[in-house]
């Protein structure tokens, strides 16, 4: 059995979970509502304040889906109760970030600024403190969407290995290369 798939998920206070006829799990909490379609072979059972998942056979596909959907629903429950946050920092001379609502205006050393529209489900905050690198903070309930948006922002100017300039996650360590050796 899948160790992850076997574990039951306890439902916290203030969270309601319902399973539809089309095997769609809906999770509602104080921060919002999320839905996830579950494979028809995986059975979802909600009772006594716990959610449990079961699979019909030990096929490789069923074993993979068993742990996957348990983890997805667990992340949904955490998302609607506490939410998720990703922080990015812009490292480089003249790199700036500003936002108006959910539209980010990024200056990343290219000839023109990059205008990036963040999905409405995610809240964006930019900060620029004197002596510190500009930071972008993304908050949301959907872990998958939040990670996808953060990865897209990072891909606009990945940290380069010689000086470390670029967009990186706060706390990310970038291995630096030794540049050219000095001549004799």
Closest CA to 105 of 78, 84, 130, 126: 126
Average pLDDT estimate for 6-18: 92
pLDDT higher than 90, residue 180:
no
Which pLDDT does position 30 carry in this prediction? 93
Separation of alpha carbons 172 and 89, rounded Å: 10
Per-residue pLDDT reduced to its tens digit, 116-170: 999 999 999 999 999 999 999 999 999 999 999 999 999 999 999 999 999 999 9
Confidence label for 2 from pLDDT (cuts 50, 70 and 90): low
Query: How confident is the model over 37-68, as pLDDT tens digits?
Result: 999 999 999 999 999 999 999 999 998 899 99
DSSP at 11: P
Residue 102's pLDDT band (cuts 50, 70, 90) = very high
Q: Which domains does the chain have, with CATH numbers?
A: 3-81 (3.90.930.12), 84-169 (3.90.930.12)
- pLDDT > 70: what percent of the chain? 98
Q: Is the pLDDT of residue 33 over 70?
A: yes
Q: Which pLDDT band, with edges at 50, 70 and 90, does 4 fall under?
A: confident
pLDDT at 157 (0 to 100): 94
Q: Give the pLDDT confidence score for residue 183 in this predicted structure.
A: 64
Average pLDDT, the chain: 92
pLDDT band, residue 182 (cuts 50/70/90): confident
Contact 124, 136 (CB under 8 A): yes
Question: Cβ distance 82 to 30 under 8 Å?
Answer: no
Alpha helices in 2-133 (DSSP H): 3-6, 60-81
Note whether 154 and 168 are within 8 A (CB). Answer: yes
Q: What is the mean pLDDT of residues 171-180?
A: 89
Which residues are bridge partners to 71 per DSSP? none
Q: Maximum distance among all alpha carbons in the chain? A: 76
In this predicted structure, the answer to whether residue 28 has a pLDDT above a threshold of 80 is: yes
Q: What mean pLDDT is predicted for residues 103-123?
A: 94
């Amino acid at each position: 059995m899948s160790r992850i798939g076997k574990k039951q998920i306890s439902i916290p206070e203030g969270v309601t979970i319902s399973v539809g006829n089309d095997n769609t799990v809906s999770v509602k909490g104080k921060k919002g509502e999320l839905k996830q379609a579950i494979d028809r072979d995986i059975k979802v059972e909600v009772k006594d304040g716990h959610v449990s998942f079961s699979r019909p056979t030990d096929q490789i596909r069923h074993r993979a889906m068993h742990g996957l959907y348990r983890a997805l629903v667990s992340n949904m429950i955490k998302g609607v109760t506490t939410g998720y946050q990703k922080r990015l920092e812009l490292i480089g001379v003249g790199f700036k970030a500003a936002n108006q609502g959910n539209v980010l205006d990024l200056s990343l050393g290219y000839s023109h600024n990059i205008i990036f529209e963040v999905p409405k489900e995610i809240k964006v905050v930019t900060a620029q403190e004197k002596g510190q690198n500009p930071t972008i903070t993304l908050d949301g309930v959907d872990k998958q969407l939040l990670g996808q948006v953060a990865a897209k922002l990072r891909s606009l100017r990945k940290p380069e290995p010689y000086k470390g300039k670029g967009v990186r996650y706060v706390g990310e360590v970038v291995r630096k290369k030794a540049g050219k050796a000095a001549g004799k």
